[in-house]
Amino acid sequence: MTKSSLRRIRAVAWKEFIQIKRDPRSLALSLAIPIFLLIIFGYGLSLDIDHVRTVVWNQDAASELTRNFLLDFQNSKYFKIVAYADNYRDIQHMIDSGDVLMALIIPKHFSHHLEAGNSAPLQLIIDGSDANTALISRGYVQTVVAKYNAELITKTFAEAGLRTPGTLDARSRIWFNMGLTSTWFIMPGVIAMIIMTIAALVTSLCVAREWERGTMEQLISTPVKTVELIFGKFIPYFAIGFFDLIVGVIMARFLFGVPFRGSYLLLAVLSALFLTGALSQGIYISVVARTQLMASQLAALSTMIPTILLSGFIYPIFNMPKFIQVFTYLIPARYYIVILRDLFLKGSGIAGMWDETAFLVLFAFFMLAFAVKRFRKKVA
């Protein structure tokens, strides 16, 4: 680029900085909303299911075996016994009203069946309106029951003076997220969603605003070329997007305790590619829409919804139907989220992220090319 070209880009960028300063709503949209979303998703969205609210109807309360069995539920962090009942009517009322998620019913003669060496019936009623929570809660109960059964078998063999038969001892080792903390999994996706959505949204609004106010025609009449105009508008929002990235990394690292094991330089380079593509997408949307209302709707529809639903941010891609999985390959956030999780949790280098990096390069190049071509066509 020539000196005159750089001077024109700098002039457009300075004009945009002044416009942002004079419009506090746009500045709040760019800076405050990312912080708000990080806090909301960080504290409000959790895939961990603890303290399942449980009501117990113990019809064999006099038995020590029964009390020992219930102690396993009381001492578990996964269950919280909030009430005791003595009839089905009260249990139904508590489940219907949402006061409890699960009911544990121990029938009469529960201990007699165990002492006689028979299978002791145990009734479990679970609110299945939230299928995922119900499935996980049932798994927790099965774990407690299996543990109790193992203890009973060991005790019975010991009392009979027999050696306990050998059992399978599976010892798992969790890599990268030892505590299986869902926040560590969620925060990289939140950062990707914020950068993708905010970058595309603010860029689409700033250009659409020029069309609505009639100032775009004034810019067109100047010697500023199309590429210079686009790059001039890029610079301020690129800086804001990078600021949002820094804020997101700092909050994830120090507020939510997510470790960062990778290279900050690699994070900056790959984020710059992703941010360039997102900003270019916003420019393209603004040229097509021409109005702020339509631009904001298109930006939200094409960025936030696909990022949340189809990028692997929350829902595993391998669990989606095959024809939906095909569409996920076109979602840029899918690749950027993989990069962020690898950098945060695994400490991976560029050698382990070539495929994702290649897609980000293509995404940035083609979106920028589309924006320049479409903009030139419209203003010619």
Task: Looking at mean pLDDT, say which of 172-176, 207-211, 229-233, 256-260 comes out highest.
Answer: 256-260
Tens of pLDDT, residues 346-372:
988 898 899 999 999 999 999 988 888
pLDDT classification of 380: cutoffs 50, 70, 90: very low
User: What's this model's pTM, rounded to 2 decimal places?
Assistant: 0.80
Per-residue pLDDT, 377: 43
Is residue 206 within 8 Å of 16, Cβ to Cβ?
yes
Is residue 163 within 8 Å of 152, Cβ to Cβ?
no
Domain 52-159 class, CATH top level: alpha beta
Considering only residues 326 and 172, tell me which one the structure prediction assigns the higher pLDDT. 326
Tens of pLDDT, residues 162-194:
666 666 667 777 788 887 788 888 899 899 988
The pair phi, psi for residue 199, each rounded to 5°, is -60, -50
pLDDT classification of 379: cutoffs 50, 70, 90: very low
Residue type, 38: L
Task: Looking at mean pLDDT, say which of 9-23, 248-262, 295-309 comes out highest.
Answer: 248-262
Per-residue pLDDT, 265: 95
Per-residue pLDDT, 268: 94
Per-residue pLDDT, 258: 92
What is the rounded average pLDDT of the residues 107-115?
83
Is residue 269 scored above 50 in pLDDT?
yes
Question: What is the phi-psi region of residue 347: left when phi exceeds 0, alpha when psi lies from -120 to 50, beta otherwise?
Answer: left
Residues 6+ apart with CB under 8 A from 339: 270, 353, 356, 357, 360
Per-residue pLDDT, 17: 81
- Look up residue 47 and give its DSSP letter: -
Per-residue pLDDT, 24: 74
Domain ranges of the chain: 3-45+181-379, 52-159
Per-residue pLDDT, 341: 93
Please report which helix (H) or strand (E) contains residue 124, including its range.
strand 123-126
What is the rounded average pLDDT of the residues 302-329?
88
User: What DSSP letter does each residue of 234-282 carry, written as one string?
Assistant: HHHHHHHHHHHHHHHHHIIIIIS-----S-HHHHHHHHHHHHHHHHHHH
Alpha-carbon distance 288 to 375, whole Å?
Answer: 9
Strands 102-106 and 123-126: antiparallel
The two tokens of residue 80 are: 């919280």
